[in-house]
Structure 1
Amino acid sequence: MTHAADFLALSELLTAEPSLDAAIADAYRLRLTGTFPADLPRLIDAYREAAAQADPAAALQAALDADTALARAAKEAIAVWYTSEFTRPDNRTDPPDTPGHYRAGLIWKVIKAHPISAAPEPPAPSGYGYWTQHPEARTQTWTPSTTS
């Protein structure tokens, strides 16, 4: 497999999300590799070794427990998937690189909300007052307003 495919599979294991977006995975892999040029490739190698074991999650956990640099890279990989940002080694935040990646953060699925500062897109109700309905209770179909 390629680094891109392995990073996607590693990310699915780390986040417990079975169908992550490959294009976003590649963007995140490139961002993390730029910040963790030695540790991210080692993390992918550790994943490859773990994937060959009977219990890949346990094998990867053992590798992370044995190497704090790998654990840090894994933590930041998880962070970028959930929030589209991560913390650099100098403790500065690397913010979301695109609004689309910010909106695609897994955190919104977990908390069952739309991204802050991004109104829900159709077919959910949108426009003034959309926040008065809980995201799961929204059953209306979106129709464009005909009044100004």
Structure 2
Amino acid sequence: MEDNNALFVGLDVSKDRHAVAVAESGRNGEVRYLGEISSDNASVGRLVRNFARLRFCYEAGPTGYGLKREIETLGHECAVIAPSLIPHKPGDRIKNKPPGCREACPLVPCRRTDEIWTPDAAHEAMRDLIRAREAAVKDRTRKRQEIRSFLLRHGKIFPA
């Protein structure tokens, strides 16, 4: 069920700046690129206060879920969308659009659907733990191979 008063906001998130695109509710609602804002909390707060009822989304990336939590504490909905779920037209690699518009505008129609699941803090912590363990195992394997190669170059064979 759609909320006819809602605006859908797509953010192209980076560590320094966020590009902002807005769409009206409804399947055929117009998608407009608003520009860029700074990534600091005060700028995000000003953006959120400028509108009455917003539904935000941004593409998952290295910035994590901090922005999502910040927007939700300001009283609005926010979703983090996996890059694989963002529809792209074949051959849609036009580079003459403004950089933020190229990334933020396709996000907004994705937010119109309510089929987006975002992990809570417990799921995020478990993901971080799993990633850290995988990195440690990979590092151990690489270092073990380096030591074996070193020993082999010096004529020693490690029996394992």
Normalising by structure 2, what TM-score?
Answer: 0.21
Return the structure number with greater helix share: 1
Identify the structure with bigger relative contact order (alpha carbons < 8 Å, sequence gap 6+): 2
Q: Say which one has the larger Rg.
A: 2
- For normalisation by structure 1, the TM-score amounts to 0.22
Q: Which has the higher strand share?
A: 2
